[in-house]
A and B are shown apart, each in its own frame.
Chain A
Amino acid sequence: MLYISKWKAAAILLTAFVCCLFAVPNFFPEKTVQQWPAWAQRHVVLGLDLQGGSHILLQVDANDVRRQKLQTLQDDVRRVMREAGLRLVRAPAIRGNSVEVIVRDSDVQQALAKLRPLSEPLGGFIGSAGTRSVNIENAGGGVIRLTVTEPALLERTRQVVDQSVEIIERRVNAMGLVEPSIQRQGIDRVLVQVPGLGNPEELIKVIGTTAKLTFRLVDTSMTVEQALKEHPPPDSEIVYGSAAEGRRPYLLEKRVIVSGEELTNAQPGYDQRTGEPIVSFKFNTSGARKFAQVTTDNVGRPFAIVLDDEVISAPVIREPIRGGSGQISGNFTVESANNLAILLRAGALPAKLTVIEQRVVGAGLGQDSIEKGKLASYFGAALVVVFMIFTYGLFGVFASIAVGINIGMIFGILSFLNATLTLPGIIGIVLTIGIAVDSNVLIYERIREEVRSGRTPINAIDAGFTRALATILDSNITTFIAAAVLFFIGTGPVRGFAVTLGIGIVTTVFTAFTLTRLIVAWWVGWARPRQLAIS
């Protein structure tokens, strides 16, 4: 047990050294670290409770999603029936989770055939997963019932969250905030985390604001250059293109042909003839009608797709666009087509989002917490070190070295994982100091016992380690289980506690099994103790 080969010793020291090395970037200013190679830049992220910031959890309103979905279905049924020229006994109406329409008995089969395309296989780009978006049933007596399936609602909710994350990201970025994080959480939630914001009220307002998408005609009564020099016509204005569009100015009519609310879908795809990436879109009934009217009247003129007061694309109308769907082609890559499709869908927040949890910490309080956490850690560590040296003398120094390396390794691992350090996380580290010392105490007390039962010092040390290590492993695993559970149920700051406690336990076991043994083995080799003084 006390003999450790050179290779093993080297491996142990290397592991500890590398772990500690990862902690180094935390001690340099961010500017310096940014010039280092990417692998060396990993560092501990301060939690919102330490650096100040806002944590806002929003939930998609499930009823809103359902209502929208049913309304779209109702509109679609109305359109299909009209296009098929079928006389309705009763117009489509929403009943519970379904849309019901009543036709004459003799028309039922024809109506079912016409309505069938409304039921699309789910799965989007990836392919059908076997389920369909709508169940169509013949309820008898001329009643046709179209029910939105739960998977379709679920998929819609997922889409809504994805879109919301996207639009919220754009919004938050537009506010010029540093390092915001917007994530999906679960199926129907969006978590917005913004460090160091002074005004949470404004943030919430911006997140909730609807982003506007419009289709507008380009005013060709004068050139943009003219308009820029002089005044644009009263019914028109200058709108600049997006970054991808090259920030070109456009002269657009103020009148909106169709707005984003009337878009029901947009999907990336490929042009069937040229194979280049395109975005296909679909309007609802009223949008389709308006769009058809305007495009019929304006063949050959350009129109603009405007998002958040930026022109995304300004294609020329080649032919009237009827039927409510069309495609946008441009200089798209697969990715940009995909992005545009997402943006088109996400033009407005697609469903109502409600703030269900909000936690904001001011930067001042965060700074206070850091100071207090530091002070408590230093004092805690100092007290423990003094006590250990007082109790165990030289072996207390060994223990303190092990604890010091332990903390270095915790920071290294936290940095490597880019983990978040929270105030409870600091408590976890301070507790780890106590737990790490425990492993040394277990070993030393065991050695003392072995000495008392008459073993030679080296024998006693050897036996002490062997017996204590099993106990150390057993006792730490129970705490680790508790930390693991806490990690899975906890959120935010409390999760930070679980992380540091869990990592602390791992490093404690590592140092007890390797480093402490190595130090003691070296000492035994150097001092060759004939007897270990007891009391």
Chain B
Amino acid sequence: MRLHPSIPLMRIVPDDTKFDFMRFRRISFPVSALLSIAAIFLYFFHGLNFGIDFIGGTLLEVQSKSGPADLARMRATLGGLGLGEVQLQQFGGPADVLIRVAQQPGGEEAQQAALAKVRQALGNDVDIRREEVVGPRVSKELLAYSTVGLMLAIFAILIYLWFRFEWQFALGAMIANVHDLVLTIGYMSLTQIDFDLSSIAALLTILGYSLNDTVVIYDRIREMLRRYKRMAMPDLLNISVNSTLSRSIITHVTVTLALLALLLFGGHAIHSFVATMIFGVVLVGTYTSVFIAAPILIYLGVGTARVEAEEHLPAQQPART
């Protein structure tokens, strides 16, 4: 018996698409610029909802032993402890509550004392499922490390791309991906998602992943640059993006499926992490590599001198344009 060999059963993206993606740059660049500015404004005027990892304080996840938790009563009890701001939030089921106590003045010991007070006030009505205390020293360090880490990652990737491609590509990829990070941070500010260590993990993954996408397109552009020496840059970019389009879409569908499974079944603890990833990887990353990373190469001067510089090879007609 011989299986009839067939690669695709279904075409998600029709073959030989000829979308003129480059024409959209007149829209996508201003839109992205506006969105980035909006994101920066959000960051400065709305701020991020920093978790205790970065601003210190105490966090408890408790579960009421007797059915749904009485948030109002708990709020009253804990608010009367004189510990400054105490935030309560339903977390998962109706019996689950997340309690956040702001960092106490008076250094490391004061945090421990606050935790003891909260524990005592909660008494035996609840199960403490998780408790975290981050002192001022550690939170400052974590914030510093994370900032340095992000910068370092961007820098390391820039160096790598510079080695692997020409500098214009490295710069283009960097602009595209800083744009991704800025928009994602704007999203986090807008939604007031908890910004903690796992958010840094999410940002770094978004950085790596959307670069992954950009690199795939750049690889193709480089290949096309070698193959079609006389083609105008916008056309060449269009071919490159169109020919990697079905890969981009299929890959993003699979990653989205994996992330959706995490979002739906992974529980509350990873909810903000996964939501950020979906926004960054799926919404921004895809858009960026097609509408920002590729067309920006036109402005960075890739291939401007190519038509004049080209003399030996006979003009090749592009196979698909």
Q: Is the pairing of A and B real?
A: yes
A residues near B (Cβ < 8 Å) are: 57, 59, 200-201, 204, 354-362, 364-365, 368-369, 372-373, 375-377, 379-381, 383-384, 387-388, 390-395, 423-424, 426-427, 430-431, 433-435, 437-438, 441-442, 444-445, 447-449, 451-453, 457, 467, 470-471, 474-486, 488-491, 493-494, 497-498, 501, 523, 527, 529, 531-535
**Which chain B residues in 1-40 approach chain A with CB under 8 Å?**
2-12, 15-16
Flag if A441 contacts B8 (CB, 8 Å): no
Interface size class of chain B, counting residues whose CB lies under 8 Å from the partner chain? 35 or more
Which of B43-51, B66-74, B134-142, B187-195 contacts the other chain? B134-142
30 pairs from A and B in contact (CB 8 Å cutoff): A356-B137, A364-B129, A373-B266, A373-B267, A377-B261, A387-B257, A391-B12, A392-B9, A393-B7, A424-B201, A427-B266, A431-B277, A434-B251, A434-B254, A434-B259, A442-B247, A445-B250, A475-B211, A478-B212, A478-B215, A479-B211, A482-B157, A483-B208, A485-B204, A486-B149, A489-B145, A489-B152, A527-B3, A527-B5, A533-B7
On whether A355 and B135 interact (CB within 8 A), knowing A361-B129, A437-B254, A471-B219, the answer reads yes
Complex: A377 Cα to B12 Cα, angstroms: 25
Residues of B within 8 Å of A361, CB to CB, are 129-130
**Residue from A395, A475, A483 in contact with B7 in the complex, judged by beta carbons closer than 8 Å:** A395
- Whether A485 pairs with B258 at a CB distance below 8 angstroms is no
Smallest beta-carbon distance A496→chain B, Å: 10
CA distance A510 to B107 in the complex (A): 49
Interface hit among B228-236, B268-276, B296-304, B306-314: B268-276
B61 touches A470 (CB 8 A): no
Given A365-B130, A474-B219, verify A452-B262 contact (CB < 8 Å): no
| B9 A391 Cβ-Cβ under 8 A | yes
Q: Are B247 and A445 within 8 A (Cβ)?
A: yes
**Beta-carbon nearest neighbor of A443 in chain B:** B247
Expressed in whole angstroms, the Cα–Cα distance for A376 and B247 within the complex equals 25
Main secondary structure of the interface of A (DSSP, over half): helix
Chain B 187-222, CB-CB to A under 8 Å as 1, else 0, gives 000000000011011001101110111011001100
**Looking at chain B's contact residues, is the secondary structure mostly helix, strand, loop, or mixed?**
helix
Pair B262/A430 contact, Cβ less than 8 Å: yes
For A380, give its contact among B6, B152, B197, B262 (CB under 8 Å).
B262
The answer to whether B168 has its CB under 8 Å from any CB of chain A is: no
Which residues of A lie under 8 Å from residue B157 when comparing CB positions? 478, 481-482
Contact in complex: B258, A392 (CB < 8 Å): no
- On chain B, the residues within 8 Å of A384 by CB distance are 254, 257-258
Is there contact, CB below 8 Å, between A362 and B6?
no
Query: Is there a chain A Cβ closer than 8 Å to B156's Cβ?
Result: yes
Q: Which 10 A-B pairs have the closest CB atoms?
A: A482-B208, A479-B208, A380-B261, A489-B149, A434-B255, A372-B267, A533-B6, A529-B5, A379-B261, A383-B257
- Min CB distance A350 to B, Å, is 19
Is A390 touching B10 in the complex (CB atoms < 8 A)?
yes
